[in-house]
Structure 1
Amino acid sequence: MLALGYAPSILPGGSALSNHPRSISGFVVCGTRGPRPRFPRVWKTRKRIGTISKSQKLVECIKELSNVKEEVYGALDSFIAWELEFPLIVVKKALKRLETEKEWKRIIQVIKWMFSKGQGKTMGSYYTLLNALAEDGRLEEVEELWMKIFSENLESLPRVFFVKMISIYYNKGMHEKMFEVFADMEELGVRPDVSIVRMLGDVFQKLGMLDKYDKLKNKYPPPTWEYRYIKGKRVRIRVNQLQGSNVEARTSSENME
């Protein structure tokens, strides 16, 4: 029987080529054409600007400006001109960065500009504005803002606002104002924390009101437990243990010095 087939191609040297490609040192050899070149893959990427970089640009945009209201507001308006929505997260992060740098005037300007746009009117923003006004020494504006917040949120005002106002009056030596804020706290049923009791106790001792000092200590005794967050978990710790650890830390630091 006659069998038909294709004869392998023969090179001048007499060697036959196989029909299958061979692999030599990582390269694929295709017939007589040699190794196939490998080109690096170039992926098309679009650089996206996140909220952190935007907040940094916002801070750099207004940091070197003067304190003229129109100039600062114009720079902020031009910064958000092409935004489809108000960049509230970017502004909040910029305020946090300005707060760490203690740029109180810029914080006041940015928050008032944000309020003029009808955005970000939250308790956190009001507290940041109240703190910035107090740090900048604008006591009249602090009291005006406090009365506005207190009248609008009479039954839902957080305790941190009372703590802030009492600490402001305590540092300024305005004892009558302290007593008024504390009376409002007791009337609304807001329990004072340890810092408020300590500041009021110091004022009562300075003024010689020992009977009121004793009543304050009896009504609001120091707590036996305190809550701390350790690795994201809320842990209850005795106050005596915390005080003992603080004393040990102080003595060790003094010995090292």
Structure 2
Amino acid sequence: MALQDAEFEASSSHYQYKIRFSQAWKESVSMSGGHFFSCYISQECAAKGPRPRYPRVWRTKKKIGTISKSLKLVECIKGLSNVKEEVYGALDSFIAWELEFPLITVKKALKNLENEKEWKRIIQVTKWMLSKGQGRTMGTYYALLNALAEDGRLDEAEELWQTLFSENLESMPRMFFERMISIYYQREMHEKMFEIFADMEELGIRPTMSIVTMVGDVFKKLDMLDKYEKLKKKYPPPKWEYRYIKGKRVKIRTKYHDQIDTNSKVKTSATEANSESWVHENTDVSIDGCVEVIICICLKRLTHPKQIDKCLCIP
């Protein structure tokens, strides 16, 4: 019994020593600021996987509340005059308390102004945004080009086009060519229109059907029918086109091909009517019944007057 009591006291004293050591270790860690404990936790996190990274504050992409802000921006601009300093001052005061430049808000405001056809305000806001070094994308430049053209400032639109075309010679989007050709087409500036179309062919950019129709109409007006035929042969209208509807690629029949089908039907009906009138003019009324049957058969099968003449064998 004495031996068992001695062993129990020794084990209990050893256990008490362990408890005291652990408590002292925790107190020392807490006094040192917990650096060792934090390092130990970081090692455990690294063993399990990468630590979670929080998004940077200066690269936020919050879209909540941007619609109301864009409407406020539009209302703030509408009541102002066209003086540059006044408009720029109002825009600067609008974003004065923003940590970042509200690019999404300004883009939505520009879209609202475009729907309302406020072209002067679009030019002012876009130039202010570009002066801040923000939103320098091809979409912004296209909106500015469109606004300048709609506002009647053709010189500035041409200057912007020349700078963009010289900087992005091989990567110029096709919609810019289409917009400039439509601008010149509306103003009947045919030479500049042909220059842009020639630049497209040199760069190997296939024109859209709207460009082909505009250039073809100009060829017809100028009585350049040989060039018109070459253009139609080189760029025939496609039968199908692809559109994205709710994220899915859908195959749709083009309107240009339907127009060509209707035009061909109208032409065939017109030729048939002309052939019938020609037969009634060049044949006598006193013809035998067998000849009348031959005329009906020829009208059904033949369309050209010379073929009908051979069939009838009229002296």
Alignment-derived partner of residue 247 in structure 2? 232
Counterpart Cα distance in 1 of 2:187 and 2:99: 45
Task: Look up the SS of the partner of 1:192 in the other structure.
Answer: coil
1:174-189 matches, within 5 Å, as 174-189=189-204
Q: Which amino acid aligns with 2:199?
A: D
Inter-CA distance 149–241: structure 2 relative to 1 (3 Å threshold)? closer
The answer on 1:195 being equivalent to 2:210 is yes
Inter-CA distance 202–242: structure 2 relative to 1 (3 Å threshold)? closer
Q: Which amino acid aligns with 1:196?
A: I
Answer with 1 or 2: which has the greater Rg: 2
Counterpart Cα distance in 2 of 1:125 and 1:199: 26
1:38-117 matches, within 5 Å, as 50-117=65-132
Shift of 1:163: 0.3
Listed one character per residue, the Cα deviations across residues 173-229 of structure 1 (whole Å, up to 9, x for unaligned) are 000010000011011111001000000000000000011101100110111111133
Task: Look up the SS of the partner of 1:114 in the other structure.
Answer: helix
Inter-CA distance 240–198: structure 2 relative to 1 (3 Å threshold)? closer
Listed one character per residue, the Cα deviations across residues 17-36 of structure 1 (whole Å, up to 9, x for unaligned) are xxxxxxxxxxxxxxxxxxxx
Give structure 2 stretches of 5+ with no counterpart. 1-62, 263-315
Task: Look up the SS of the partner of 2:96 in the other structure.
Answer: coil
Counterpart Cα distance in 2 of 1:75 and 1:239: 47
Inter-CA distance 241–193: structure 2 relative to 1 (3 Å threshold)? closer
Alignment-derived partner of residue 152 in structure 2? 137
Task: Look up the SS of the partner of 1:129 in the other structure.
Answer: helix
Task: Look up the SS of the partner of 1:217 in the other structure.
Answer: helix
The answer on 1:213 being equivalent to 2:228 is yes
Task: Look up the SS of the partner of 1:154 in the other structure.
Answer: coil
Shift of 1:49: 6.8
Inter-CA distance 183–139: structure 2 relative to 1 (3 Å threshold)? same
Inter-CA distance 94–112: structure 2 relative to 1 (3 Å threshold)? same
Give structure 1 stretches of 5+ with no counterpart. 1-47, 248-257
Task: Look up the SS of the partner of 1:226 in the other structure.
Answer: strand
Task: Look up the SS of the partner of 1:143 in the other structure.
Answer: helix
Q: Which amino acid aligns with 1:236?
A: K
Q: What fraction of aligned residue pairs are identical, expressed as a percent? A: 79
Inter-CA distance 103–204: structure 2 relative to 1 (3 Å threshold)? same
Query: Which structure has the highest helix share of the two?
Result: 2
Runs (4+) of structure 1 exceeding 4 A deviation are none
The answer on 1:169 being equivalent to 2:184 is yes
Listed one character per residue, the Cα deviations across residues 69-107 of structure 1 (whole Å, up to 9, x for unaligned) are 000000000001111111111100000000000000000
Counterpart Cα distance in 2 of 1:80 and 1:206: 52
Inter-CA distance 240–138: structure 2 relative to 1 (3 Å threshold)? closer
Q: Which amino acid aligns with 2:251?
A: R
Inter-CA distance 82–187: structure 2 relative to 1 (3 Å threshold)? same
Shift of 1:236: 1.2
The answer on 1:150 being equivalent to 2:162 is no
The answer on 1:126 being equivalent to 2:141 is yes
Counterpart Cα distance in 1 of 2:124 and 2:160: 15
Aligned 8 A contact 2:239 2:257 in 1: no
Counterpart Cα distance in 1 of 2:237 and 2:183: 23
Task: Give the TM-score of the pair, scaled to structure 2.
Answer: 0.61
Counterpart Cα distance in 2 of 1:71 and 1:232: 43
